[in-house]
Chain A
Amino acid sequence: MFKRILIANRGEIACRVIKTARRMGIETVAVYSEADRDALHVEMANEAVLIGPPAAAESYLVMDKIIEACRKTGAEAVHPGYGFLSEREAFPRALADAGIVFIGPNPGAIAAMGDKIESKKAAALAKVSTVPGFLGVIEDSKQAVKIADEIGYPVMIKASAGGGGKGMRIARSKAEVAEGFDLARAEAKASFGDDRVFIEKFIVDPRHIEIQVLGDKHGNVIYLGERECSIQRRNQKVIEEAPSPLLDETTRRLMGEQAVALAKAVNYDSAGTVEFVAGQDKSFYFLEMNTRLQVEHPVTELVTGIDLVEQMIRVAAGEELAIKQEDVQLSGWAVESRVYAEDPFRNFLPSIGRLVKYRPAKESCQDGITVRNDTGVQEGGEISMFYDPMIAKLITHAPSRAAAIEAQTHALDGFYVDGIRHNIPFLSALMTHPRWREGNLSTGFIAEEFPKGFSARVPEGEIARRIAAVGAAIDRVLGERKRQISGQMIGRAVIRERRRCVWLERTEIPLDVIREGEGFVVRFANPDGSLGQPHLLQSAWVPGDPVWEGTIDGRPIAVQVRPIPNGVRLAHHGYEVAVNVFTQREASAARWMKEVNKADTGKKVLCPMPGLIVSIAVEEGQEVKAGETLAIVEAMKMQNVLRAENDGVVKKIHAAAGATLPVDALIIEFA
């Protein structure tokens, strides 16, 4: 076994590999760019080597620098993680030349699977099922209909030279094929100057299902079940799970055996993934093979109990696989969410900046439920513009799918990030989505369920009551402490009423709240004035805690707490709402208050100080959201970021980069 390995990657995957290496007693070497000096993977490794400037092309992607770092530190092997150099055939070759072991497949396997056409050919040879179609030149619509009849409907007619949906049409009958063929050809000619089209089976509501395979250098290959990754946004996976709610034992075995056949055909000797597209009828067709450790590998690890990184290291060191196919048992269900620094309320714009607060869900393993958080950042760290905006992968495992989703929902509720925008509200909304919970998935899920994107939602019903109850309990704790301030008058106890009127924004929820031992009892008031059933809230929350972690009627609940004037902003299940807990007289006074329309203070952006315009980040006519960067002004040798105060459209830009402006000079005007 290796004494020391180098991880040619950063972020969560570097940390992930280091953890396993550590457990195996292997020393680790991290590499880092100038932007990652204080990164977690650098801190975790036994040794770290600076390999260049922030841009990946000048650091993480430079093979020579990685090899030099190995030489310098005596690392015997390199784990590439995913992305960067992981699927470059040249990398294992270069390492081999330097006498260093690549913890991944042999270069031949990478090459065989790297080319989309070649890999499909190899798959066909290995008798892996591929999407039925006709790749030759089709003469006329008659031939097209004949081909379509053979394939079976519906079919897709596609321009050979095409892309981006142009010259692409779906036909569901002979007549549609005949008509569509001519149209597709004309369109192809007009768009690409090439009228060749081909026909293949169109898979309705396709699902993305992939098989994890594991091979060694002794010809053994096994499969470790499947993962379903149908919840994607613009081809980027968002949620993954294992196993797939679609598959049965037979289909699983069929897919697994085909994946193994393909892997054997290319002498695959590490962890890899064979991706399939699957129809709702459990038909499945080969898409491509990824010759690396996948981002979503943890869900497989949790249902199989096998550490894939450990297996990769062992087989790279020449060991024979100790696991036989019959040893592989899938147990329970695992779900993974990818936490990204992307603002779901602003069309998933990447968000960069300092992680002012970062309190991920606590990792745990109890009562059959596992919570795992693969992360590469820590509080006070920086999400920079140079790399992938992924912050963490949150994985939960439980005996059933429903329990794993429930655990995931709860863990997301407690995942607290401040300083940058992130997609946790969106992940929470997905986790509680009834269609997801039913397992009725397809790769079109997000586009179908969120056609207009994601926007802030107003809590209603049960969720609203739950948030109101937590708000009341928080207010109660704060109130009790206020009663303990020094300097109070003697002999006059402050009266505390149990009735509270909780406002979620301007929705009023009247309730009674009292303390009972360590907990609180909340009863909601009915419209007729009577009180509902008592609900028992228990929590060890104290002021300053970012998450109210506790139970309502025994059910675990996590609610994020952020202070606002006279209240708290509570976030739960993807809802976020300003909560004011009023007494009755405060509430009756608050009803007189006018809702303020945001004044037009943000119409003009003025130079806040005499300084130099470094850059203008927007263009005339551009729509901007509150908080977006508008311009950077340098003054006193410091760069100051001017941000939009409100949403709006840029009407006119009055200053250009490089201009020196006096204070209050007009920079940008909004319409």
Chain B
Amino acid sequence: MKHILESLEARRTAARLGGGEKRIDAQHERGRLTARERIELLLDKGSFEEFDMFVEHRSVEFGMAKNKIPGDGVVTGWGTVNGRKVFLFAKDFTVFGGSLSETHAQKICKIQDMALKARAPIIGLYDAGGARIQEGVAALAGYSYVFRRVVQASGVIPQISVIMGPCAGGDVYAPAMTDFIFMVKNTSYMFVTGPDVVKTVTNEVVTPEELGGASVHATKSSIADGAFENDVETLLQMRRLLDFLPANSTEGVPEWPSFDDIERVDYSLDSLIPENPNKPYDMKELILKVVDEGDFFELSEAFAKNIITGFGRIAGRTVGFVANQPMVLAGVLDSDASRKAARFVRFCDSFNIPIVTFVDVPGFLPGTAQEYGGLIKHGAKLLFAYSQCTVPLVTIITRKAFGGAFDVMASKEIGADMNYAWPTAQIAVMGAKGAVEIIFRKDMDDPDKIAARTKEYEDRFLSPFIAAERGYIDDVIMPHSTRRRIARALAMLRDKKMELPVKKHDNIPM
């Protein structure tokens, strides 16, 4: 009997070797880890349970019948991250370059189905060369099966894609439809068509990094939600991210004991807003001083920096933060910022993560570039996203809340639950200069009158009190008590229940 049992271990050992020592060494030479090494780092020690380790492809074309490697280029299974279950698949670059075959796709589909059934997050680690050309349409169909499952699981379980090597062609579209994409700097890239095809078709000469490296996707295209220095940093950051995420759309946010008192006040916030209304300040300081222990996981940090999105915790429970950043473009809303924030708001709402919004917005960015680029529809995405939220929404206006941007940034009227303003808030249709020039156009030739009118406008409108007098905000609060007030509001709203009219699905302006 013993030798029969031992044969299992022999087969396992062979399977674990993937494409063999030489290819593993080559992977290491590039500063990259193998699929199994990555899984080891991502999961709790000893928690990985592999599926389909012995699966081999069934292709016979182009000599493939003799070229079989167990696992077929993808490692799949499940395990835990800090004791919470996650499902994952990791493309194995050492086996057929991680290319996707019919059986390879079937392995991914199996794990996708399992994750959806078990209602736990799924993570894909990409390091792959696209479809296995020898398999033809069978590979293409394989992609479609995977795509469809991504879409079906969307909004039910968190789906995370991590690009840790090449990711091209059909392989890019599964990540594109997941909740988050992260990339490894310098060693990963993703594009629909590679540099060779680009050159053939358009004569454009471009390197893979220039075409689809982390530096491109995390800053220009917004495809990636973040980029990290190397495989190890990336995988450990994924563990950190998972600690913020709910397992699924019904379970609610995870919770852990917080070392940070919810009653903590921070008097330095009372001087955050500069005397000069045209001087910027760093909104991140506010976020870092409000969240538990200063721990904030920022998303899309390098893209559309005029708005900040990310996860923090209050009282040990995950909260999504959206905040205008006055340091960049005065915190204005433009197409990119609107899209970035809209997608984040929808993720939070899908998974019952309460949203705290800090507002200091001078309006929407004017100009032909923005209007031609569809600012109306992009801005509408954020408006739509906030308006359909059923999660607790707490909004704090720190300074400017001008014009339509006031409405969009989680105003009371589009559904926010608690709306606070600092005494420094200015809630109006526009700033004083613009307003006076319109209202008192006839006085434009008289600088004294204009000055007087401007002063009058500033005193009357550039404060939170008109809004407070009419109940458009619920209270004016001291900056130093912001954390305490948010914590109380979130505790009060913890069991918020709201239902939207029954519908097949909404039709967000895409």
Q: Which residues of A contact B (CB under 8 A)?
A: 37-38, 354-358, 378-382, 481-489, 492-495, 497, 542-544, 563, 565-566, 582-583, 585-586, 589-590, 592-594, 596, 599, 601, 608-610, 635-640
CA distance A592 to B37 in the complex (A): 11
Most chain B beta-carbon contacts within 10 A, residue among A482, A485, A585:
A485
CA distance A639 to B367 in the complex (A): 19
Known interface pairs A380-B272, A599-B215; A485-B278 also in contact (CB < 8 Å): no
Does any Cβ of A come within 8 Å of B271's Cβ?
yes
Query: What residues of chain B lie closer than 8 Å to A637, measured between beta carbons?
Result: 278, 330, 362, 431
B100 to A: closest C-beta gap in Å:
26
Does any Cβ of A come within 8 Å of B45's Cβ?
yes
Known interface pairs A356-B285, A485-B256, A486-B255; A638-B293 also in contact (CB < 8 Å): no
Does any Cβ of A come within 8 Å of B329's Cβ?
yes
Does any Cβ of A come within 8 Å of B466's Cβ?
no
B84 touches which one: A380, A485, A594 (CB < 8 A)? A485
Evaluate contact between A594 and B329: CB separation under 8 angstroms: no
Evaluate contact between B83 and A566: CB separation under 8 angstroms: no
B327 touches which one: A355, A382, A492, A640 (CB < 8 A)? A640
**Could you say which of B52-60, B224-232, B371-379 contacts chain A?**
B224-232
**Could you say which of B148-156, B235-243, B485-493 contacts chain A?**
B235-243
CA distance A438 to B237 in the complex (A): 47
Query: What residues of chain B lie closer than 8 Å to A495, measured between beta carbons?
Result: 44-46
Q: Which parts of B44-88 form the interface with A (CB within 8 Å)? A: 44-47, 80, 82-85
Evaluate contact between B232 and A593: CB separation under 8 angstroms: yes
Does any Cβ of A come within 8 Å of B292's Cβ?
yes
Evaluate contact between B243 and A485: CB separation under 8 angstroms: yes
Query: What residues of chain A lie closer than 8 Å to B259, measured between beta carbons?
Result: 481, 542-544
* 5 A-B pairs with C-beta separation under 8 A: A380-B267, A380-B269, A492-B47, A544-B294, A639-B279
Known interface pairs A485-B256, A638-B280; A565-B243 also in contact (CB < 8 Å): no
Evaluate contact between A640 and B28: CB separation under 8 angstroms: no
A495 to B: closest C-beta gap in Å:
5
B31 touches which one: A492, A592, A610 (CB < 8 A)? A592
Query: What residues of chain A lie closer than 8 Å to B458, measured between beta carbons?
Result: none
Does any Cβ of A come within 8 Å of B233's Cβ?
yes
Known interface pairs A489-B84, A492-B83; A380-B271 also in contact (CB < 8 Å): yes
Known interface pairs A497-B45, A636-B362; A596-B255 also in contact (CB < 8 Å): no
Evaluate contact between B280 and A379: CB separation under 8 angstroms: no
B329 touches which one: A582, A592, A635 (CB < 8 A)? A635
CA distance A493 to B31 in the complex (A): 32
Q: Residues 253-296 of chain B: 1 if any A CB is under 8 Å from the residue's CB, otherwise 0? A: 01111011000000111111001001111100100000011110
CA distance A638 to B327 in the complex (A): 8
Evaluate contact between B295 and A543: CB separation under 8 angstroms: yes
What residue of chain B has the Cβ atom nearest to residue A496's Cβ?
B45
Query: What residues of chain B lie closer than 8 Å to A635, measured between beta carbons?
Result: 329-330
B83 touches which one: A483, A586, A610 (CB < 8 A)? A483
Does any Cβ of A come within 8 Å of B33's Cβ?
yes
CA distance A380 to B257 in the complex (A): 28
Counting from the closest, the 4 A-B pairs by CB-CB distance are A380-B268, A544-B293, A488-B83, A636-B330
B257 touches which one: A481, A583, A608 (CB < 8 A)? A481
CA distance A609 to B327 in the complex (A): 12
CA distance A279 to B111 in the complex (A): 81
CA distance A485 to B240 in the complex (A): 12
Evaluate contact between A608 and B41: CB separation under 8 angstroms: no
Q: Which residues of B contact A (CB under 8 A)?
A: 28, 31-33, 37, 40-41, 44-47, 80, 82-85, 185-186, 215, 228-233, 236-237, 240, 243, 247, 251, 254-257, 259-260, 267-272, 275, 278-282, 285, 292-295, 326-330, 332, 362, 365, 367, 431
B357 to A: closest C-beta gap in Å:
20
CA distance A601 to B270 in the complex (A): 36
CA distance A432 to B184 in the complex (A): 41
Known interface pairs A481-B257, A544-B293, A638-B278; A381-B83 also in contact (CB < 8 Å): no
Query: What residues of chain B lie closer than 8 Å to A492, measured between beta carbons?
Result: 47, 80, 83
A489 touches which one: B80, B328, B330 (CB < 8 A)? B80
Using A354-B285, A485-B83, A585-B40 as known contacts, list a sample of 8 further A-B pairs with CB atoms less than 8 Å apart, ordered by residue number in A.
A485-B82, A487-B83, A489-B80, A563-B294, A590-B230, A594-B31, A599-B186, A640-B327
CA distance A542 to B259 in the complex (A): 6
Query: What residues of chain A lie closer than 8 Å to B231, measured between beta carbons?
Result: 589, 592-593
A473 to B: closest C-beta gap in Å:
15
Evaluate contact between A494 and B83: CB separation under 8 angstroms: yes
CA distance A354 to B326 in the complex (A): 15
Known interface pairs A492-B80, A589-B37, A596-B229; A636-B256 also in contact (CB < 8 Å): no
CA distance A481 to B259 in the complex (A): 10
What residue of chain A has the Cβ atom nearest to residue B272's Cβ?
A380
Evaluate contact between B279 and A638: CB separation under 8 angstroms: yes
A589 touches which one: B80, B84, B232, B260 (CB < 8 A)? B232
Evaluate contact between B367 and A593: CB separation under 8 angstroms: no
What residue of chain B has the Cβ atom nearest to residue A382's Cβ?
B271
Query: What residues of chain A lie closer than 8 Å to B28, measured between beta carbons?
Result: 592
Evaluate contact between A485 and B254: CB separation under 8 angstroms: yes
CA distance A483 to B270 in the complex (A): 36
CA distance A357 to B247 in the complex (A): 36
CA distance A493 to B256 in the complex (A): 16
A498 to B: closest C-beta gap in Å:
12
A566 touches which one: B33, B237, B260, B295 (CB < 8 A)? B237
A655 to B: closest C-beta gap in Å:
18
Known interface pairs A593-B31, A636-B330, A637-B330; A565-B44 also in contact (CB < 8 Å): no
What residue of chain B has the Cβ atom nearest to residue A566's Cβ?
B236
B280 touches which one: A585, A589, A640 (CB < 8 A)? A640
Evaluate contact between A565 and B47: CB separation under 8 angstroms: no
Evaluate contact between A38 and B329: CB separation under 8 angstroms: no
Evaluate contact between B256 and A481: CB separation under 8 angstroms: yes
Query: What residues of chain A lie closer than 8 Å to B330, measured between beta carbons?
Result: 635-638
Known interface pairs A494-B44, A589-B37; A609-B329 also in contact (CB < 8 Å): yes
B110 to A: closest C-beta gap in Å:
20
Evaluate contact between A544 and B260: CB separation under 8 angstroms: yes
A636 touches which one: B233, B243, B254, B332 (CB < 8 A)? B332
Evaluate contact between B41 and A586: CB separation under 8 angstroms: yes
Query: What residues of chain A lie closer than 8 Å to B46, measured between beta carbons?
Result: 495
Most chain A beta-carbon contacts within 10 A, residue among B47, B271, B292:
B271
Query: What residues of chain A lie closer than 8 Å to B33, measured between beta carbons?
Result: 589, 592
B160 to A: closest C-beta gap in Å:
17
CA distance A183 to B186 in the complex (A): 63
Query: What residues of chain B lie closer than 8 Å to A484, measured between beta carbons?
Result: 256-257
CA distance A593 to B37 in the complex (A): 13
CA distance A657 to B479 in the complex (A): 36
B338 to A: closest C-beta gap in Å:
16
Query: What residues of chain A lie closer than 8 Å to B267, measured between beta carbons?
Result: 378-380
CA distance A542 to B257 in the complex (A): 11
Evaluate contact between A636 and B85: CB separation under 8 angstroms: no
Evaluate contact between A487 and B41: CB separation under 8 angstroms: no
Query: What residues of chain A lie closer than 8 Å to B281, measured between beta carbons?
Result: 354
B250 to A: closest C-beta gap in Å:
12
CA distance A566 to B229 in the complex (A): 11
B168 to A: closest C-beta gap in Å:
22
Query: What residues of chain B lie closer than 8 Å to A379, measured between beta carbons?
Result: 267-268
Query: What residues of chain A lie closer than 8 Å to B328, measured between beta carbons?
Result: 608-609, 640
Evaluate contact between B295 and A565: CB separation under 8 angstroms: no
Evaluate contact between A594 and B295: CB separation under 8 angstroms: no
What residue of chain B has the Cβ atom nearest to residue A544's Cβ?
B293
Query: What residues of chain A lie closer than 8 Å to B282, measured between beta carbons?
Result: 356
Query: What residues of chain B lie closer than 8 Å to A358, measured between beta carbons?
Result: 268
A504 to B: closest C-beta gap in Å:
16
CA distance A485 to B244 in the complex (A): 10
Evaluate contact between A544 and B271: CB separation under 8 angstroms: no
CA distance A544 to B260 in the complex (A): 7
What residue of chain B has the Cβ atom nearest to residue A381's Cβ?
B271
Query: What residues of chain B lie closer than 8 Å to A640, measured between beta carbons?
Result: 280, 327-329
What residue of chain B has the Cβ atom nearest to residue A634's Cβ?
B278
